[in-house]
Each structure stands twice: as structure tokens, then as C-alpha cells.
Amino acid sequence: MNILFIAPYVPSRIRVRPFHLIKELSRQHKITVVALGESDGKKVEGADDLLEFVEDLYVVPHSKLRGLSQSLVALPTPIPMCAAFCWSHAMKEKIRSVLRRDRFDLVHIEHLRAAHFASVTGDLPVVFDSVDCLTSLFSQMACEKRNPISKLVMMEEAVKLKRYEPRVLRRFARVIITTDSERSALLEMNHDLHVDVIGNGVDTEYFSPQGSSRSGRRLVFSGKMGYSPNAKAALWFATECFPLIRQKYPDVEFVIVGSGPSAEIKKLAETPGISVTGYVDDIRPYLDSASAAVVPMQVAVGIQNKLLEAMAMELPVVATPIALRALNDDCPGTVRADGVEETVSAVCALLENQEYARDMGKSGCKYVVDHFSWESNVRKLSNIYEEVTKSEGNA
């Protein structure tokens, strides 16, 4: 099958879901990717890795400044800012050009921010990957914001999304999403949607123990730090939990790994024991040398890839209930901790007993290997492709 994959960002090892969907799909299908990319003069992160698995990759420049300007213009309109951010005439023209040059069997569109590009795909069948329910995400963010202006903006975005998201998704014959809870959230807004769950996975060949020493007391949190919920989680742990842990273990370290940290996150590096890496080419050495991972999300939707990656590296994980809601209540390798007291207690227990931490890490790794395979998820996705193309062909 010849597939056109449209995304509002370049799939990469940071943009885990689309990267691994494409990687697995390429074993049986031809994939052409058209994606928006930041035009800041820097090398497009992840593009080189992606080229190994695609027939063609077209990256359409789209600056953050332009996206933010478009979002501001959308404020007085019914269009959510997250959708307006990715408006791009150049992207539409590139999609039209690619469609004129090649014959495709199906279009796969990733994320609500790119949904409007379906308008230029003609009569081709489209499978839409919603990834997460954005109405749910922004509703949570509105509740969590303390700054009154930020709170008002998030509330307005959530209200807009509650109308916009189900209306846009209604245009697609098949919608996929990461978890059952996210599927339920979409169906609550429109019970007529045809939504399938295609979960996230982890590359257990890439994310596997590297043999580094874990004799110290090092905690790690990983993720795109330019993403507000990640930044909020790191800040909460660093300011509320870490000082209490450090009282008991003065040598404990907290490493925040991920691209795009804000000035507020960077400032945390001034605190003794805390380091902030910014973007790194390879996250594995940071996970491999840690004693435990923390995933203290206060706002979360879908499956937390950072959680699966840490588990695959045999790291025990302390996480908030919302970060674990896509997994079983008794998921091996994880400790559910709600609030400061439970989080501090759980982390200290792991630091106190390294054998207990190692055993927990090993059980978590086995669980991930057994239950989170990209291969099985993509097999289900390929079946959906077949159903959609046959359905369109018989229409």
C-alpha cells in the first residue's frame, strides 16, 4: 500500500508515536511524509533517522513566530489556537504537489493540529490519528493554571475545543487514539464517531539496559520540556518533593532531560543536586545511570512514553495516578504516588533499598516487553487501513 503521512511536526525519536508507526509500517508499505518543521535555521531533529524508513520526506518550514501570530489572530474566532498555529498555505500546496506526482492508496493524518489539511487530499480515504483528546488536556490545564490570564486562555481554548474537536473528527471515517480513556472522552462529545484504540509502544531493542553503574542516588525525569505539562511536573517535583528527599539523602541528584526547557526550568539547575540538560542526542545514558525515574504528571492524557521508556531500561518508576491511568492498577515496575508525602516516601524507599529497586525495574521491563510492542499495534493499524480502503472502494 502507498501511504501519504501528514503531520504538524517531523516524526522523530522525540515524536515517538509517529516515528515508530512509520518505522513499522515501512516493513510492508511505502510511506511518503509531508510535515511542518520549524524554520529557525537549525537542523530538523529526527529527519535523518526518519529517512531510513520512508520513500520521500518533505519538510515545510513553519516558524514558531508565525504559528504564535496565527494563534493570536484566532483568539476572537471559534478556531482553537492549537489548530490555528499550524495553518500553512505552503503545506497545502506541498500536499497538492505530492498528490499530483504520485498515486496513493490512503492518507494518514496525525493530530488535530493537522486535521484541516484533509481538505486538500481529495477523494482519498483518510485515517486520522487523534493521538489524545485535546479537549480533556486543555480542560485539565485550565484547572491547574494559577495565573488568571493563563487560566482564562486555557478555559477559552477548552471551550472552543469542545465544539471544534468532535465536529472535525466527524469528517473522518476512522479515528484512532492511544487509550480507552481517551476514546471514552471523544465518544462523550460525539457517540457517533468510529474510534479505534492503537496504543503507544516502546522500542525495546533501542531502550534496553546499557550496563551503566547505578550505585549512586540519581533520579531522572525525561520529556519535551517545552511542553507545559512536562515543565509543570518537573517544577512540582523539584520544588515540593526534592528538598524533602535531599534532607534524608544529601547526595541525591535530580536530572531533568529534554528539549526546550523554559527559563524557569533552567533556573532549577541553580539548586544543589539538580541538573537540566536541554536537548540531548541520546536519552539512554541518562536513564541507564539513574536509580529511579519519576513521572509526577499533574496534567496528562494518553500513555506516557517517558514511563514506558524508563521501564524498558529496567528503571523503577514513581508516578502520579494520572500518569499511570492508561496502565493496570498493579502494573509491575511502578509505584503509584499521589501528592508530596506519598511521592517522597516512595522515592526514599527505592533509594534506601537498591536490591528492591533493581527487582522492581526488572519486573517493569518484562511487563513492557510483553505488553507494549509497536509491531502488534501497527498490525492492528494495517488492518484498519485495509478495511478503510476496501470500504471506500465499495462505496
The DSSP annotation for 155-173 comes to HHHHHHHHHHHHHHHTT-S
Q: How far is residue 85's CA from residue 96's CA, in Å, rounded to a whole number?
A: 20
Number of residues that make up the chain: 395
Q: Are 55 and 31 in contact (CB under 8 A)?
A: yes
Q: How far is residue 315's CA from residue 191's CA, in Å, rounded to a whole number?
A: 39
> What was the pLDDT predicted at 394?
54
- Residue 137: its H or E element: helix 134-144
**β-strand partners of 256:** 221, 276
Give me the phi and psi of 159, to 5 degrees please: -65, -45
> What was the pLDDT predicted at 35?
94
Q: How far is residue 119's CA from residue 129's CA, in Å, rounded to a whole number?
A: 16
| Predicted confidence pLDDT, tens digits, the chain (395 residues) | 999 999 999 998 778 899 999 999 999 999 999 999 876 444 566 577 888 999 999 999 998 899 999 999 988 899 999 999 999 999 999 999 999 999 999 999 999 999 999 999 999 999 999 998 898 888 888 887 778 888 888 898 889 999 999 999 999 989 999 988 889 999 999 898 999 999 888 888 888 888 777 667 999 999 889 888 899 999 999 999 999 999 999 999 999 999 889 999 999 999 999 999 998 888 999 999 999 999 999 887 767 888 999 999 999 999 999 888 878 777 899 999 999 999 999 999 999 998 999 999 999 999 988 888 788 889 899 999 999 988 765 55
Burial 161-190 (b: 16+ CB within 10 A, else e): bbebbbebbeebebbbbbbebbbebbbebe
Q: Are 174 and 388 in contact (CB under 8 A)?
A: yes
CB burial class (10 A; 0-12, 13-18, 19+) of residue 137?
Answer: buried
Tell which CATH architecture fits domain 2-201+374-388: 3-Layer(aba) Sandwich (3.40)
To which residue does cell 524557569 refer?
264
| Set of cell numbers at residue 267 | 533556573
Fold of 218-371: Rossmann fold (3.40.50)
- Cite the residue boundaries of each domain of the chain with CATH code 3.40.50.2000: 2-201+374-388, 218-371
Q: Which of 372, 283, 361, 294 is nearest to 326 (CA)?
A: 372
Q: How many Cβ atoms sit within 10 Å of the Cβ of residue 90?
A: 11
